[in-house]
């Protein structure tokens, strides 16, 4: 037996009607080092049953049988789709018979009168069959690997385009299709070039070929979407086959969406500007206090003199307006100098501060503010941050109430039904335009805004984060044309969960 075979055990399916010939074949295989396990069949049904029961290593078939034949057995094996070697046997071998058998798919043709070729043929066909099986397994593994790779590339969040030297796109993953608002089929139709996606991609790819490098340094550019809008993107390009001729060059372009990063940078710049403006406003308010005090003293001295009634009335009016200016400066200082530590916070005072600062805007918008303070409880909070939340909610309400109306600010005792914790419920209810379900589902997402270029889309997201940091909750109800109601729950100072006092409002 050939040393190339791993085992002497050999399962043979023998198509033969003569038991003596079968015994002769088995003895010949044994003498040559095999341990054959012979299964002999004489009909097509018996052969099919044997194939269904146990697959052989090789099939040996007699060319002529009374009720069956070698060619019929070979045809049955081919129909089954099994890759099993088949060697035709015959008592008398003609050249035409051998040629016909080989054309039909037999691996070899051996004469029963001369079995010396049988063992070499069996060894050769077993080795080739093993090679075919290994090749098939490798091909299956390769296809599975390619499928996993394509799935990985298609699922990755970064966009990928493949194109030729003329810019024609041959591949696009789902990420780039979503980014551009186009279908993969459209991008890979053969009619789309990378220039229509981004004018800088193809020049960067060509630079790779000129400079003799495969990968170009990533660069920022803009991509054109299907509806004509532009998207900031970070792009990297590479030449996939630098050894090929220019006619067969294949390039890849990786596209990362920078929109969120750009918005974050812009939001950070706006926040820094607001912080500077806040410090500046607080500084001005502080500096104004000194001359205000001097003017107040002067008015007091004037009031001590003899004045006509009309003049005294003017002085009283000036004093009232001066008191109003003084109140605004005090509230401004309180707003921008909130404590950085959590402590007892009176929501009534906090609401009054916000309303005072926004009073002129409220009056111009013809918005009536209704304050309903139904609890004396304080909350545990960082006053400056909660003031920021209230100011944001009131500002949003003002933007929604384009025709004026009533804005209700209410505080009441409440309970968090999830935890049972007692606290204070702050309600901000407006009679503005309201929101549809699509907007409601997204209002707490960062950078989602209904105000166009005037809105950053960060207010409610930051507000929710602040409330969550204070162990509170924020809920919203709204209908188009019926206004919006925000309800905040904040834990009360010195109240523990399970207290016997019945809450007057519940978070639902």
In a domain, 4, yes or no: no
Place of tokens 């602040």: 466
User: Given a cut of 50, is residue 503 above it in pLDDT?
Assistant: no
The pLDDT, as a whole number, for residue 251 is: 92
Of 92 and 443, which is predicted with more confidence? Answer: 443
> β-strand 505-506 against 405-415: which pairing, if any?
parallel
Task: Tell me whether residue 466 is in a domain.
Answer: yes
315 and 240 within one domain: no
Does residue 404 form part of some domain?
yes
Q: Is residue 151 part of a domain?
A: no
Do 91 and 66 fall within a single domain?
A: yes
C-alpha span between 92 and 109 (Å, rounded): 11
Question: How high is the pLDDT of residue 456?
Answer: 64
Q: Model pTM? A: 0.44
Q: What pLDDT is recorded for position 93? A: 61
**Residue 311 pLDDT exceeds 80:** yes
Distance between CA atoms of 355 and 395, rounded to whole angstroms? 10
- 329-346 per-position pLDDT tens digit: 765 665 555 555 677 888
170 alpha carbon, distance to own chain's centre:
24
Number of domains making up the chain = 4
Distance CA 167, CA 202 (A): 6
Token readout for 455 is 């809105």
When pLDDT is averaged across residues 288-303 and rounded to a whole number, the result is 78
355 and 500 fall within a common domain? yes
Question: In degrees, to the nearest 5, what angle opens at C-alpha 378 toward C-alphas 373 and 384?
Answer: 100
- Claim to verify: residue 161 and residue 208 sit in the same structural domain: yes
Predicted confidence (pLDDT) at residue 159 exceeds the cutoff of 70 = yes
> How do residues 232-283 score in pLDDT, each as one tens digit?
999 999 998 888 888 889 999 999 998 888 777 776 776 676 666 666 666 7
Same domain? 216 vs 332: no
Residues 237 and 285 in one domain: no
Segment 354-394, tens digit of pLDDT: 888 788 888 888 999 999 999 888 887 877 788 888 988 99
Residue 235 Cα to chain centre, angstroms: 19
Which residue stretches of 237-308 are H helix? 259-303
Q: What is the DSSP letter of 297?
A: H
Residue at 71 is within a domain: yes
Tokens at 287, concatenated: 């500096």
Q: What is the CATH number of the domain that holds 437?
A: 3.30.565.10
* Inside any domain, residue 95: yes
Sign of the Cα torsion 5, 8, 12, 14 reads: positive
For the cut 90, the answer to whether the pLDDT of residue 284 exceeds it is no
Lowest-confidence pick of 21-30, 68-77, 286-295, 476-485: 286-295
Cβ proximity of 20 and 112 under 8 Å: no
pLDDT at 497 over 60: no
Q: Provide the pLDDT for residue 285.
A: 67
**Is the Cα torsion angle 317, 318, 319, 321 positive or negative in sign?**
positive
User: Over the chain, what is the mean pLDDT?
Assistant: 83
Give the H or E element holding residue 35: strand 35-41
Same domain, 359 and 493: yes
CB 482 within 8 Å of CB 436 = no
Q: Which of 292, 302, 290 is nearest to 326 (CA)?
A: 292
Alpha-carbon distance of 161 to 331, in angstroms, equals: 57
Q: Which of 337, 358, 393 lies at the terminal end of a domain, its last residue?
A: 337
Determine which of 160-164, 291-295, 359-363 has the lowest per-residue pLDDT on average. 291-295
Domain that holds residue 249: 156-257
Give buried/exposed letters for 235-253 (b at 16+ CB in 10 A, else e).
bbbbbeeeeeeeeebebbb
Residue whose C-alpha is closest to residue 444's, from 401, 396, 385: 396
Residue 89 pLDDT greater than 80, yes or no:
yes
Same domain as 27, residue 129 = yes
Is the four-CA dihedral 343, 344, 349, 351 of positive or negative sign? Answer: positive
Tell me which of 19-23, 197-201, 238-242, 462-466 is least confident. 462-466
- The answer as to whether 2 is a domain residue is no
Q: Point out the domain boundary residue: 337, 362, 389.
A: 337
Domain end call among 104, 136, 168: 136
Residue 270 vs residue 313, higher pLDDT = 313
Residues making up the chain, counted from first to last: 508
Cα torsion angle, 391, 394, 398, 400, sign: positive
Higher pLDDT pick, 465 / 254: 254
pLDDT higher than 60, residue 176: yes
CB 400 within 8 A of CB 411: no
């Amino acid at each position: 037996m050939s040393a190339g075979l791993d085992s002497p055990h050999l399962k043979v399916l023998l198509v033969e009607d003569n038991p003596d010939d079968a015994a002769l074949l088995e003895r010949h295989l044994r003498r040559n080092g095999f341990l054959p396990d012979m299964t002999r069949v004489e009909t097509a049904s018996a052969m099919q049953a044997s194939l269904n029961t146990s697959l052989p290593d090789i099939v040996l078939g007699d060319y002529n049988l009374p009720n069956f034949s070698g060619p019929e057995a070979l045809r049955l094996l081919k129909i089954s789709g099994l890759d099993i070697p088949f060697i035709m046997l015959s008592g008398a071998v003609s050249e035409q018979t051998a040629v016909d058998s080989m054309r039909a798919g037999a691996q070899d043709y051996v004469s029963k009168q001369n079995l010396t070729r049988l063992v070499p043929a069996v060894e050769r066909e077993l080795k080739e069959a093993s090679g075919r099986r290994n090749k098939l397994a490798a091909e299956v593994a390769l296809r599975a690997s390619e499928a996993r790779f394509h799935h990985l590339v298609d699922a990755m969040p970064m966009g990928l385009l493949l194109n030729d030297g003329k810019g024609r796109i041959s591949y696009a993953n789902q990420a780039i299709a979503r980014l551009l608002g186009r279908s993969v089929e459209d991008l890979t139709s053969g009619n789309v070039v990378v220039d229509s996606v981004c004018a800088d991609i193809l020049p960067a790819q060509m630079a790779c070929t000129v400079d003799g490098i495969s990968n170009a340094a990533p660069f920022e550019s803009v991509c054109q979407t299907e509806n004509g809008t532009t998207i900031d993107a970070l792009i990297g390009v590479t030449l996939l086959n630098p050894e090929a001729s220019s006619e067969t060059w294949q390039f890849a372009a990786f596209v990362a969406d920078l929109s969120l990063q750009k918005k974050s940078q812009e939001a950070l710049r706006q926040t820094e500007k607001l912080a500077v403006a806040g410090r500046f406003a607080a500084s001005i308010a502080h500096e104004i206090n000194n001359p205000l005090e001097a003017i107040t003293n002067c008015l007091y001295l004037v009031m001590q003199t003899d004045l006509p009634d009309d003049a005294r009335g003017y002085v009283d009016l000036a004093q009232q307006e001066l008191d109003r200016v003084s109140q605004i400066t005090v509230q401004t200082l309180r707003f921008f100098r909130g404590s950085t530590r959590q402590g007892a916070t009176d929501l009534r005072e906090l609401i009054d501060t916000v309303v005072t600062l926004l009073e002129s805007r409220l009056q111009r918008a013809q918005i009536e503010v209704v304050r309903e303070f139904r609890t004396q409880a304080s909350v545990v909070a960082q006053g400056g941050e909660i003031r920021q939340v209230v100011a944001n909610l009131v500002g949003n309400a003002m933007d929604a109430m384009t025709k004026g109306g009533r804005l209700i600010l209410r505080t009441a005792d409440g309970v968090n039904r999830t935890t049972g914790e007692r606290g204070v419920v702050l309600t901000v209810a407006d009679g503005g335009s309201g929101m549809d379900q699509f907007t409601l589902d997204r209002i707490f997402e960062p950078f989602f805004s209904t105000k166009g270029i005037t809105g950053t889309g960060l207010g409610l997201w930051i507000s929710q984060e602040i409330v969550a940091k204070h162990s509170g909750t924020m809920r919203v109800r709204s209908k188009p044309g019926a206004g919006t109601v925000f309800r905040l729950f904040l834990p009360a100072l010195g109240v523990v969960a399970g207290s016997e006092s019945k809450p007057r409002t519940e978070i639902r």
